[in-house]
Structure 1
Amino acid sequence: MCGRYATTRSEADLSDLFDAVDVTEGLGPSWNVAPTDPVPLVRISASQADARVLDTARWGLLPPWAKDTRGAAKMINARSETVATSPAFAPSFARRRCLVPADGWFEWVRTGKERQAFYMTPADGSVLAFGGIWAPWGPEKMRTVSVLTTAARGDLARVHDRMPFILPPDRWAEWLGDEGGELLRPITERELAAIDVRPVGPAVGNVRNNGPQLLDPPPKATLF
């Protein structure tokens, strides 16, 4: 799964990187994004002449039939294997795909009685784009979003059996467009190898903690 991640670039930087119009209204950076937090996403907007917009959504997709927001934390991820057929996710996958910008994501590995946190991030510091789907919910059409996940591979599989569904830049337009195609093909081995696995300290485990210090390596840590 992907239950915690970092997205720290400014709206101006994200707008430039994704060639999108910024309509986020001051969403700040976070080194510890948690379920139900507001997050940036890139989507196609009919009101902007079908241009890309950098927008904000609540993390945890709510289908139209949800009576309240209590189930949102359980809907932060959509499995790529079933997203096209799931009653909760299929309508959004067909019509409301989006990109979720990230610097990297966190997972934990249990070693005895302890849990070691790891941060997965591009070695060159480039932006990640998670494949996402969004849906409006409630009378006010609150925007909600889920991040797709897929089977982890390589060193990432040693941390967790799932990983975010990552889209390289040359596939952004295809994902956001109306064309079908092979949308759910995995990233290449070369793209996978460009992602580092870095141990970080335990502070990221508390959702109240935030700041760049969460990415610092602990005094003593091993990769696995």
Structure 2
Amino acid sequence: MCGRYALTLTPEELKEILGLLELGAFPARYNIAPTQPILVVVSGQAQERGSNLPDRRAVLVRWGLTPSWVKDPKEFPLLINARAETAIGKASSRAAMRHRRVLVPASGVYEWPRPSKERNEKPQAYWIRPRRGGVVAFAGLMETWSSADGSEVDTGAILTTAANASIATIHDRMPVVIKPEDFARWLDCKSQEPRDVADLMQPTDEDFFEAIPVADKVNKVANMGADLQTPLVVETPQKPPGKKAGDGQLSLF
């Protein structure tokens, strides 16, 4: 799953890369967590009318998708991720897949391996970022939930898929990455039905990401500094005397 990520590029860089008409100032965010406001990109009116002119807009939504049919959000599970394999047909994501597909820009994500039941070890945190730097755009969904008093809340989720081989050593899921050449097709909910963009919801190339061990400071949402991404030197455990290399020893990579 994707439960924590960062967005540290400047508004000017994001505006150029994502083809945004306007983008106000905002601070670098090194530890974005569920229920917090996140920036998502939606298509503009020109794209909806079939124009090739980029006029995408950036909006803020609450991270945690709430379908419009939910009566009480407190009784609905926090849906920060939606599985790409079932998003088209599942009730919680079906309408958003058809009408409200978005891009979620990020500088990278944090991930923790699933804890072992046999060993009482603290999971090692990893900062997973594009190997070439810059921004990555995750496939996302957006819904507007309306309360009984008429107030509205825009909400969103990140689509995930089965991890590729390089990420699978850390976690079995990874965010769906939309390539720049596919931005327009993914955002086009007028002429591109969910089945037309199903091919985009695949694991990204094996060498797209690099995984960097980082300190467990990222585990706490209150920690928000750039030092969260400082590489951590992970010591290799000493082999017991008499053991040969590869004899019963497991490696993360």
TM-score, structure 1 normalization: 0.89
CA contact (8 A) 2:70 2:76 kept: no
**Counterpart for residue 14 of structure 1:** 14
Report the count of equivalent residues. Answer: 222
- 1:164 maps onto 2:179 in alignment: no
- Which residue of 1 is the match for residue 143 of structure 2? 135
- Equivalent of residue 85 in structure 2, options 64, 74, 81: 81
Which of the two has higher C-alpha Rg? 2
Q: State the shift of 1:219 in Å.
A: 3.9
- Structure 1 unaligned regions, length at least 5: none
CA drift of 1:157 comes to: 0.5
Partners of 1:72 and 1:46 in 2: CA distance = 32
Percentage of identical aligned residues:
33
Does residue 1:54 correspond to 2:68, yes or no?
no
Matches within 5 A, 1:170-185: 170-177=181-188, 178=190, 179-180=192-193, 181-185=196-200
Contact 1:174 1:183 in 2 (8 A): no
- Structure 1, 69-78 or 55-64: larger mean CA deviation: 69-78
- Please give the per-residue CA displacement for 1:21-78, whole angstroms capped at 9, x wherever unaligned: 236x554321111001111111013499863101111111111122344367620001
Task: Report which of the two has the higher share of strand.
Answer: 1
The residue identity in structure 2 corresponding to 1:201 is: A
- 2:219 — aligned with what? 205
Cα pair distance change 1:97/1:182, threshold 3 Å:
closer
Task: Please state how far the C-alpha of 1:186 moved relative to its aligned partner.
Answer: 4.7
Q: 1:137 to 1:11 in 2, by over 3 A?
A: farther
Cα 1:49–1:82 change in 2 (3 A) is closer
**TM-score (norm: length of structure 2):** 0.80
Root-mean-square deviation over aligned CA pairs: 2.3
> For each residue in 1:169-221, what CA deviation from the matched residue of structure 2 results, as whole angstroms up to 9, or x when unmatched?
111111011323243435576x3312101111100001111111000122435
Unpaired segments of 5 or more residues in structure 2? 50-54, 237-250
- The corresponding residue for 1:3 is 3
Counterpart check, 1:151 vs 2:166: no
Amino acid at match of 2:200: R
